[in-house]
Amino acid sequence: MEFIVIIISAIFVNNVVLAQFLGICPFLGVSKKVSTAVGMTGAVTFVMILATIVTYLIQKYILDAFGIGFMQTISFILVIASLVQLVEIMLKKVSPPLYQALGVFLPLITTNCAILGVAIMTIQKDYNLLEAVVFSGASAIGFGLALVLFAGLREHLDLVDLPKGMKGAPAALVVAGLLAMAFMGFSGIV
């Protein structure tokens, strides 16, 4: 039952993008096409889960063991940056079209504060490794859900006749706000 609460909470109630405002840069930058949003979701999911596992182990077996917890943020950033480089190399070899579609946004995963935020939150919430993996996977799903929904809405906005002053970023920000308010409706679940 605890895992179900973690999953529902991470996806809907405490969505990293819409409730905690982490990962806004890729949320706004990669959300113009659904196909690109799905690719970014896959990359972020892989990096987020892997980063959570590695950072959890580093925290428990190195930082806590040697009493150097103050090095948490810098060590987590280095781990995430290294993992993103590995994902970039893998995507270049495995899926060149996806690598091209993500383009400049792939390095944004390195600075995606959602990944760092989830890694730090798993430590702060005192999760064990399994709970941390479930939380990071659910957070990645929540990130992806918000990203794909927003991309679909932005694709639809391109087909709508909007006033000149609302085209582009203004309409996207209004839709993002409405999407965040819609997700607030889930707050009574958990």
Output the pLDDT for position 129.
96
Question: CB within 8 A of 18, min separation 6: which ones?
Answer: 146, 176, 179, 180, 183
Output the pLDDT for position 104.
66
Which ranges of the chain does DSSP label H, i.e. alpha helix?
Answer: 2-8, 24-29, 34-58, 72-94, 96-102, 113-124, 129-159, 169-184
Output the pLDDT for position 103.
66
Low-confidence ranges of the chain (pLDDT < 70): 102-105
Output the pLDDT for position 46.
84
Output the pLDDT for position 105.
66
